[in-house]
């Protein structure tokens, strides 16, 4: 396995080693079957983060941090388009983890 792939998997597993981030990615993956994408507004993303905060007993800013860490690890894609936000679970990253073992 190349050094680049090892680094990529290391970032993914580091992000998923946090139980809150693992729960977030699992719930988002269940909510977005198929393509793993959904389009929402900025307000809805904030509401989603507040809902995760409530369910996990964390501050909304902490949830925002977890979303950022998942994005930096390559597990989430978040793209703003005007007032809309495209959020997607990176299916390629999920598949690459499945193929690792």
- What pLDDT score does 86 carry? 74
Taking the alpha carbons at both ends of the chain, their separation in whole angstroms is: 12
36 pLDDT higher than 60: no
Q: What pLDDT band is residue 74 in, cutting at 50, 70 and 90?
A: very high
Positive or negative, the CA dihedral 62, 76, 44, 83 is positive
pLDDT at 38 exceeding the cut of 80 = no
Arithmetic mean of pLDDT, 16-27 = 91
Instruction: Please give the pLDDT value at position 43.
Output: 62
Among the residue ranges 7-11, 43-47, 52-56, the one predicted with the least confidence is 43-47
Q: Which of 76, 95, 94, 96 is nearest to 86 (CA)?
A: 76
pLDDT above 80: residue 21: yes
Which 3 state secondary structure label does DSSP give 57? coil
The residues, ordered by sequence, that sit 6+ positions from 39 with a Cβ below 8 Å of its Cβ are 81, 84, 85, 86, 87
DSSP letter assigned to residue 34: T
Q: Residues 30-52: what's their mean pLDDT?
A: 61
As a whole number of angstroms, the distance between CA 49 and CA 60 comes to 6
Beta strands in the chain (DSSP E): 37-41, 76-81, 84-89
What is the mean predicted confidence (pLDDT) over 45-56? 75
The CATH number for 3-100, chosen from 3.40.50.720, 1.10.3210.10, 1.10.10.10, 1.10.3720.10, is 1.10.10.10
Put simply, whether the predicted model's pTM sits higher than 0.95 gets the answer no
């Amino acid at each position: 396995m190349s050094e680049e792939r090892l680094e990529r998997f290391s970032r993914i597993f580091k992000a998923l080693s946090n139980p809150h981030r693992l729960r977030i990615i699992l719930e988002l993956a269940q909510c977005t079957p198929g393509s793993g994408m959904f389009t929402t507004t900025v307000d809805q993303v904030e509401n989603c983060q507040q809902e995760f905060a409530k369910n996990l007993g964390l501050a909304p800013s902490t949830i925002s941090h977890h979303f950022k860490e998942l994005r930096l690890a390559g597990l989430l894609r978040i793209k703003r388009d005007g007032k809309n936000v495209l959020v997607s679970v990176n299916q390629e990253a999920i598949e690459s983890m499945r193929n690792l073992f």
